[in-house]
A and B are shown apart, each in its own frame.
Chain A
């Protein structure tokens, strides 16, 4: 029997007992549907987290703070040291937490550590408002680490760190209020940023919008390049140099050629020197682990459903073999080999598996896409850029192939039984 004929016969046999096939397909459908959806949730959340990591910083960056020893209980008060004892308010820990500040001496020390390419303090600037042309003024904030991050852009380009021109990446929520027709319209426009110096005098700084970004969960505010930050910082200081320059956080670039082990070693070196260095991955690792855990549990449920469906396939095919005993006997009497009979029944199992998984995956994609669209406008509108269900062609194909494999394995027992039948016994069977 030709392969083509075997496949065609298997398909037509599958539809001979429509109700039974439908019920078995339904069982597989449930498993494939669930597995496709859970995979999509995993992929959607992972993609979102990746985008957030991009928004937070490049992979070759450490966020460095002083090791926080101020809270260590039982050591008694720490002696004051004019060179290092300045504190700054910190975003880490509960509100009001302070960390010991980094001074210029610290920065030099960090910069000298082997493996660190460059180190830059993060200078926090607090602009008052943003304005385009003669339109309304809006409250406005700048993400201090934006110079080293990759924004999740909807239009325009990333910031150019080496440009001397003051550049700005605008959050997309500002586009319409500022009077731009669209995100693309905003790119290239010149906006003015108002800032008050420490003496209470207000200054205006002009910047060019180079890109429009989606608002990020982890890094709020607009992006500004080094040139704009420097300009704003100068305006903010009002020309007065504070006695001790201190920064809460510094950003250090390390050699991109370093292996993961070397990065860990480098972190240890910095820890010995009294600094806490963490990469963006470290900060988001915990989040991703939790999400992977949840997706793993959901996948396990889907696989359990598939195993239950596998027994359905075994049952269906065993009944089919029983019903078609004489037909099998006849085909064997007419010279069909046991191997071909085996292939025929295995193919029937695979056809059932394919039907269930293809329909399951198809419905999951249809329903999931609709649900995802509704959610991103409603419940999840606070997380722009989050596609809670992301259907990747490879993972959908993987689910379908996996189900077909399970179906094939389930078909093994009935197919073997069919292949082993003795033609004479089968023809006598009443």
Chain B
């Protein structure tokens, strides 16, 4: 069953606007994402990498091409089924935190469960479990606005994780963080992949982050220019990261 849970995109095209202002974000992209994989979608801003992620995450519909999720054609799914799929199987981490201010950390984390209609006791239990896992249990009652950037991104990961998703989509998950906290967040994401088998789809322009993934899909001007596969295994992740740190510092600094 798990092995069939593949996201298979064929010839995706997507454009915005019309006439002279028409912008073709994707011009026929085909990718497959297998369960348990970590995939980096790498490209410069405007390359169409975010659009690709939005299409894969069923946040948007392609103009052309087909998208199959677990063997179902996305077009044939009802709105309700798509909502349920995103709610139950997907988790989202965005570059910006999108935390609800003046609401407690716990309430922010359990938002997907609330939307799913889970009972308040159960979602509280599940929320605390996730916060403990992310070492934020002592902040559960704090307002989200009182946290540091790294803590906020951990809350965001907690929110993506709370519904026990199959796939976490992360759009520049470390883009807003300094290198040290960014590295911690990366470690958490890859640890989740290793221990829970959660598929990671990471959109980034950070080569070092991309290198930690099993596979890299390079996008330029709406087309896949190359795909590479890393040879490292899960056990080498930490080592690779330790070596990459000085480089990562300069890269992150340059990007910022």
Contacts and interface: CB of A to CB of B under 8 A. Distances in A.
A330 interface: yes
Interface residues of B, number: 26
B117 A331 contact: no
A5 B114 contact: yes
A395 interface: no
Contacts of A331: 111, 115
B88 A330 contact: no
B54 A424 contact: yes
B117 A1 contact: yes
Interface string A22-37: 0000000000000000
A264 interface: no
A330 B86 CA distance: 11
Interface in B12-69: 54, 57, 59-60
Interface in B91-112: 92, 94, 96, 98, 100, 102-103, 111-112
A326 B98 contact: yes
Contact of A335 (B84, B94, B98, B103): B84
Contacts of B94: 427
Contacts of A334: 86-87, 92, 111-112, 115
A258 interface: no
Contact of B92 (A12, A333, A336, A337): A333
A423 interface: yes
A335 B100 contact: no
A9 B116 CA distance: 14
A329 B87 CA distance: 13
A44 B95 CA distance: 64
A423 B59 contact: yes
A95 to B, nearest CB: 75
Nearest to B114: A5
A337 B79 contact: yes
B111 A335 contact: no
A327 interface: yes
Contacts of B196: none
B156 to A, nearest CB: 10
Contact of A333 (B86, B116, B117): B86
B54 A336 contact: no
Interface centre among B60, B83, B84, B120 (most CB of A within 10 A): B83
Contact of A1 (B60, B86, B96, B115): B115
Chain B at the A interface: SS class = helix
A16 interface: yes
B136 to A, nearest CB: 19
Nearest to B92: A333
A2 interface: yes
Given A335-B116, A423-B59, A427-B94, A327 B83 contact: no
B80 interface: yes
Nearest to B94: A427
Contacts of B54: 424
Interface in A319-367: 326-327, 329-331, 333-337, 340
B93 to A, nearest CB: 11
Contacts of A2: 114, 117
A326 B111 CA distance: 14
29 contacts: A1-B114, A1-B116, A1-B117, A5-B114, A5-B117, A5-B120, A9-B114, A12-B103, A326-B98, A330-B92, A330-B98, A330-B111, A331-B115, A333-B59, A333-B92, A334-B87, A334-B112, A334-B115, A335-B85, A335-B86, A335-B115, A335-B116, A336-B87, A336-B115, A337-B80, A337-B83, A340-B115, A423-B59, A424-B60
Given A5-B120, A335-B84, A336-B87, 6 more contacts: A2-B114, A326-B96, A331-B115, A335-B86, A336-B83, A340-B115
Interface of B: 54, 57, 59-60, 79-80, 83-88, 92, 94, 96, 98, 100, 102-103, 111-112, 114-117, 120
List the 4 closest pairs (A to B, CB-CB), nearest first.
Answer: A335-B87, A335-B83, A335-B86, A330-B98
